[in-house]
Amino acid sequence: MDNLIIFSIILILIIIIYIYSVNKICNSNDSLKYYEYNSNNAGPIIIIMAGTHGNEPTGTHAIYNIIQLLNDNKIQLKKGKLILIPEVNYCALKLGIRFIPFIGDLNRKYKLNNNCQLNNNCQLNNNCPINKKIINLIENADFVLDFHDGWGFHRINNESMGSTISPTDTKQSYDLAHIFQNKVNTSIQNKEKHFNIYTNNENLLSNEYYSKQKDINGSLRYYMNSNKKNYILIETSGQNNIQPLEIRKSQCILFINELLKFYKLV
């Protein structure tokens, strides 16, 4: 019996140390790295982020490609500021899993306070350091582009968010969503793999290229929409390498280039 008690105590200590270490390494301000490029000329603040889920790495590869081009001066900003966050969930990306146990899904942690719908004071209502740091970064942003990977092709299986564009309900978000859709679909020969736009606009839903918006409480899109901020969620078809990484990455780079041109940063 004494040995069992000692073993139980050791096991509990190991679990406590593990949880503490995971939170310290994977769920802290220091675990969220970002890259800031300032033109030194007045202009919009654009944020591009990826890697919220560790099994969705396409946007991360695309952002690092853009970082390299910026560092080599092959892309030069004419105005404004560009903030790049390639690895929102650093530890999950390294392990190739959706999220880290004991931390949970970061894209369900943008919870709003209870008074949000009453007074439009839609503030973050949790103590997750990564989410709080992201909210602080995007507070003054003019636009946020957020990359994810879906598990299928939406036009083949509408239960999948793969190959979809989800704007918030703002004019600039919708304008960009249409630009994104037109540009990317001209590069895709197979119509079943074309991108659809998620929308709450009932007038658009009769068109086969629009689908009813999925409002996921706790997601960043839900938070941004509640705060009437310009934001687009891109879901490439990429989980489990459903299509080659280079195809998905090129789609993400296309979206980034169109975004920078839209706001005249380049």
Q: pLDDT tens across 122-179, in order?
A: 777 777 899 999 999 999 999 999 999 999 999 999 999 999 999 999 999 999 999 9
User: Is the pLDDT confidence value at 20 over 90?
Assistant: no
Strands (E), 158-205: 164-167, 196-199
Report the mean per-residue pLDDT for the chain: 91
- Name the DSSP class of 202: G
Ramachandran bin of 40, using left for φ above 0, alpha for ψ from -120 to 50, beta for the remaining angles: left
Q: Are 50 and 234 in contact (CB under 8 A)?
A: no
3 state DSSP class of 51: coil
**118: pLDDT strictly greater than 60:** no
pLDDT at 247: 97
Query: If you write DSSP's letter for every residue of 103-128 in order, what string do you get?
Result: T--GGG--PBPTTHHHH----B-S--
- Assigned token pair, 158: 């509408």
Structure tokens at 264: 């005249």
What pLDDT does 120 receive? 65
Higher pLDDT, 114 or 146: 146
Per residue in 179-228, pLDDT tens? Answer: 999 999 999 999 999 999 999 889 999 999 999 998 898 999 999 999 99
Mean pLDDT of 82-97: 96
CA within 13 Å, CB half, 8? 5
Is-above-0.95 flag for pTM?
Answer: no
Q: Which two tokens stand for residue 17?
A: 């140390």
- Residues 14/52, Cβ–Cβ less than 8 Å: no
Whether 266 contacts 76, CB under 8 Å: yes
